[in-house]
Chains A and B, each alone.
Chain A
């Protein structure tokens, strides 16, 4: 099949690349656009490692085709950094709570949580579970991830006020 040209907004910048219709979005991000922050854990929609933010909402990038993001807005873990590439507020909160070990599920966790906190900066425990219930972490047993999310939410609230 002929490759398609795809142009999208990735982390605030307009980028383009080419992909076969069959290429998944996560492969497109990682292989074509070389944005390797987003990870692949299962390619069948269960683990959540590939989570990105599409037009403001957390979705699984292994369950979308690259051709489907034409003209859309995508945020990946790289997009949560400050302008100069240093860790953003949420990312630093995950450092302070040590909300990870191997770091493999981390990009998916961060993007899921980012989407949550964009719409709800004072999430309840249930909100947090709902937001990351589709992100499997094999390392942490989740406690330090939950701690980190709470630290991050609090700092984001402070940052706004």
Chain B
């Protein structure tokens, strides 16, 4: 067992940070006391069921809901016409006025499963009975399914008003690409395909809304993980933003980016207001979730050219990325933008030409998934490195060593204008080869090969950008002049000295309460177990951008540290005033402040808190009574807009991971078994070792899923084929080996305690690593595969199928 323990590197100076400590949230989860949205119990709640379109692309001729409405217990049936009349279109990240998106299909359906009507009823059983009674007349038309076909001028249009299926087409050149290609010893090209998959939490998305007539407030409880959620609700419902109250104390049963649910929320918000304030809930069932929830991830084709020298050193990349964003783009296209910060990976690549393109098809719309497009991008970059090695017949590890940025080169400015904060990539790569007992692994592989089996070792070395400032949005859309993604934390100490930390967003398994209490405990030198962390609702209003983008350790952690510092400053002032000593003569220890020259002169924590709350006469002049501080953290290195060459700092912190999986392929069936998995990881200072380890290994498991099993399949006619967990195949414990991990710590110079993000975890490298291992196994047969997922059928076909001439 290699359980988490104190982190030896970072832990030495800290009491609580980097120590193995129980996770605060776990207690309520193990006892069955989580506060999930489905556990909310408002009397009189009405339940919504949605009617899916059987056609991927059809005109809605007529909806007859009479029989449904007549059913006892049914309160309302809502259609797209009604919604379109009373709400504004949902927000896409890009300005797309002609791609109108409503919670229910309006006039036309654009993907199989799109919601055509919604029934509101006393209970969900009745609501589903009523769905059976709705008659819809459709006029079906051929769907456009393949993204490359969809780009052609004569393709059927998903949004006829938009005039094309191309939602975004960008062209960025950073550095002397033409010269680098010209001067290169070698070039090669490949196509790599990342299949439509997602992180698919075990809890589906759910939302409960209640319009409160008295206060004219829309109360929302949702399993949400999304920035600007209240803003989008208010905009669509044409409400003032200060009339939308999103309760952030809902436990979210997993999200990894996908829990967006904006269309669900606007729908129930509208219904609750329409019905005069009844609580209305929409809990996706799994069929709705898979077919039509806000759930599908990137679906991407890369055409990449690589320029490199004789020694395998990569000079330049040309990347065409075509991403199928489905019928309603939402923030999907930005998943091509986020990876810009690390588009050259951890390598000393001098220049890059990047042409990202987002294409609409008749499929479910795309939502951000763990890493916001970085997973597919890392897969492509690692494929490039492996291909270079294969081309030159060099060792894949050695080629990486030659390309990795050296530890003495930090901070390292990459061609896109982003500076990597810190790292020691070669050491981390060394750690994982040691952990994997690499020479031994090679022996095991070669023995299996001698037995006639197919076995392979994978390698992937990649980056996890964290704590971004969202400027990629501006790169894609100059109207979006947004240059901060701040996060706030408030600390209050009550009159008896108890500490409450307040954050402004939900938690979905990342342990934010633990993060805040650990950092506050460390800074204030109080036991984190006695610190309470709560989630302010959106009206109580801490500035927040939600736990996306691996940002909370950096941003919420920094905000907590900043707030604690403000509290300490105030305590020092109180102590200086009462002890009659200058602040620089005082010292703080576990909440007590004493006179360094005369330690008996002191004020205890209790005394300080008492003075602050009750003894105004003992406060320094001008000080407010009470003890509270809000700190809003700005993204480190933020504030710069892109220069004329589109160079800009997008993310401040860069974690690094090196993966080595070991796989065996059954040549008769094409089935891949992951025998072992090793990962070394560096996210700077680890705040809680158990949490980080979980993120890393959990991400690896999702990555194995994306590499080998998971795909939202569509038939050529646009029918959705992965509507259940039988067909959307997520790995069980049988498919995931016990992942062995090791941490390394290169602190970030930009954050409160040297921490960097780790939430996107192993997901950013595992698909690439598994692909590398599979290709290593196929190498003796002279074969390779660059399409995920690599399902049994695909691999067996490659091995045994009829070879095209």
A–B touch (CB < 8 A): the answer is yes
CA distance A38 to B725 in the complex (A): 19
Check A150–B1 contact: CB distance below 8 A. Answer: yes
CB-nearest residue of chain A relative to B724? A44
Q: Is the interface of B mostly helix, strand, loop or mixed?
A: loop
**How close is B535's CB to chain A, nearest CB, in angstroms?**
15
Contact of A87 among B1, B31, B199, B201 (CB under 8 A): B31
Q: Mark B682-710, 1 if CB is under 8 A from A, else 0.
A: 00000000110111011111100000000
CB-nearest residue of chain A relative to B35? A36
Instruction: Knowing A44-B724, A102-B509, A133-B733 are in contact, say whether A138-B32 is a contact too (CB < 8 A).
Output: no
Q: What class of interface size applies to chain A in its complex with B?
A: 35 or more
Q: Does A63 contact B (CB under 8 A)?
A: no
Inter-chain contacts of B1 with A (CB < 8 A): 147, 150
Within 8 A of A (CB), among B249-286: 251-256, 285-286
Inter-chain contacts of B253 with A (CB < 8 A): 39, 102-104
**How close is A119's CB to chain B, nearest CB, in angstroms?**
19
CA distance A129 to B34 in the complex (A): 26
Check B22–A105 contact: CB distance below 8 A. Answer: no
**How close is B660's CB to chain A, nearest CB, in angstroms?**
16
Q: What class of interface size applies to chain B in its complex with A?
A: 35 or more
CA distance A39 to B702 in the complex (A): 21
**How close is A56's CB to chain B, nearest CB, in angstroms?**
19
Contact of A139 among B254, B732, B733 (CB under 8 A): B254
Q: Does B27 contact A (CB under 8 A)?
A: yes
Contact of B724 among A36, A46, A80, A140 (CB under 8 A): A46
Check B203–A41 contact: CB distance below 8 A. Answer: yes
**How close is B31's CB to chain A, nearest CB, in angstroms?**
5
Check B26–A100 contact: CB distance below 8 A. Answer: yes
Q: Is the interface of A mostly helix, strand, loop or mixed?
A: loop
Check A133–B690 contact: CB distance below 8 A. Answer: no
Check A141–B29 contact: CB distance below 8 A. Answer: no
CB-nearest residue of chain A relative to B286? A42
Within 8 A of A (CB), among B231-262: 251-256
Q: Does B98 contact A (CB under 8 A)?
A: no
Q: Mark A44-84, 1 if CB is under 8 A from B, else 0.
A: 10110100000000000000000000000000111011000
**How close is A156's CB to chain B, nearest CB, in angstroms?**
15
Inter-chain contacts of A144 with B (CB < 8 A): 3-4, 690, 693-694, 697
Inter-chain contacts of B724 with A (CB < 8 A): 42, 44, 46
Check B32–A139 contact: CB distance below 8 A. Answer: no
Check A104–B201 contact: CB distance below 8 A. Answer: yes
Check B701–A98 contact: CB distance below 8 A. Answer: no
Instruction: Knowing A41-B203, A144-B690 are in contact, say whether A103-B25 is a contact too (CB < 8 A).
Output: yes
Instruction: Knowing A44-B725, A95-B26, A103-B251 are in contact, say whether A136-B202 is a contact too (CB < 8 A).
Output: yes
Q: Does B38 contact A (CB under 8 A)?
A: yes
Inter-chain contacts of A91 with B (CB < 8 A): 30-31
CB-nearest residue of chain B relative to A93? B30
CB-nearest residue of chain A relative to B738? A143
Check B31–A85 contact: CB distance below 8 A. Answer: yes
Instruction: Knowing A129-B733, A141-B701 are in contact, say whether A103-B34 is a contact too (CB < 8 A).
Output: yes
Inter-chain contacts of B693 with A (CB < 8 A): 98, 143-144
CA distance A110 to B34 in the complex (A): 14
Check B32–A133 contact: CB distance below 8 A. Answer: no
Check A30–B29 contact: CB distance below 8 A. Answer: no
Q: Does B13 contact A (CB under 8 A)?
A: no
Instruction: Knowing A102-B203, A102-B251 are in contact, say whether A140-B694 is a contact too (CB < 8 A).
Output: yes
Inter-chain contacts of B734 with A (CB < 8 A): 129, 133
Q: Does A146 contact B (CB under 8 A)?
A: yes
Inter-chain contacts of A95 with B (CB < 8 A): 22-23, 26-27, 30
CA distance A140 to B732 in the complex (A): 11
CA distance A85 to B32 in the complex (A): 10
**How close is B785's CB to chain A, nearest CB, in angstroms?**
24
Inter-chain contacts of A102 with B (CB < 8 A): 29, 201-203, 251-255, 508-509
CA distance A63 to B511 in the complex (A): 32
CB-nearest residue of chain B relative to A137? B202
Q: Mark B281-323, 1 if CB is under 8 A from A, else 0.
A: 0000110000000000000000000000000000000000000
Contact of A46 among B23, B33, B695, B725 (CB under 8 A): B725
Check B25–A105 contact: CB distance below 8 A. Answer: no
**How close is A4's CB to chain B, nearest CB, in angstroms?**
14
**How close is B544's CB to chain A, nearest CB, in angstroms?**
19
Check A77–B31 contact: CB distance below 8 A. Answer: yes
Inter-chain contacts of B285 with A (CB < 8 A): 43
Check A43–B32 contact: CB distance below 8 A. Answer: no
28 A-B contacts (beta carbon < 8 Å): A30-B38, A36-B38, A41-B204, A42-B286, A42-B724, A44-B286, A44-B725, A81-B31, A94-B30, A101-B254, A101-B509, A101-B695, A102-B253, A102-B254, A103-B29, A103-B251, A104-B254, A132-B733, A134-B732, A136-B732, A137-B698, A138-B256, A138-B701, A138-B730, A141-B699, A141-B702, A141-B736, A144-B694
B residues at A contact (CB < 8 Å): 1, 3-4, 22-23, 25-34, 36, 38-39, 41, 125, 199-204, 251-256, 285-286, 508-511, 690-691, 693-695, 697-702, 724-726, 730-734, 736, 738-739, 762
A residues at B contact (CB < 8 Å): 20, 22-23, 30, 34-44, 46-47, 49, 76-78, 80-81, 85-87, 91-92, 94-98, 100-107, 110, 129, 132-147, 150
Closest 5 CB pairs of A and B: A37-B32, A103-B29, A104-B253, A102-B509, A101-B509
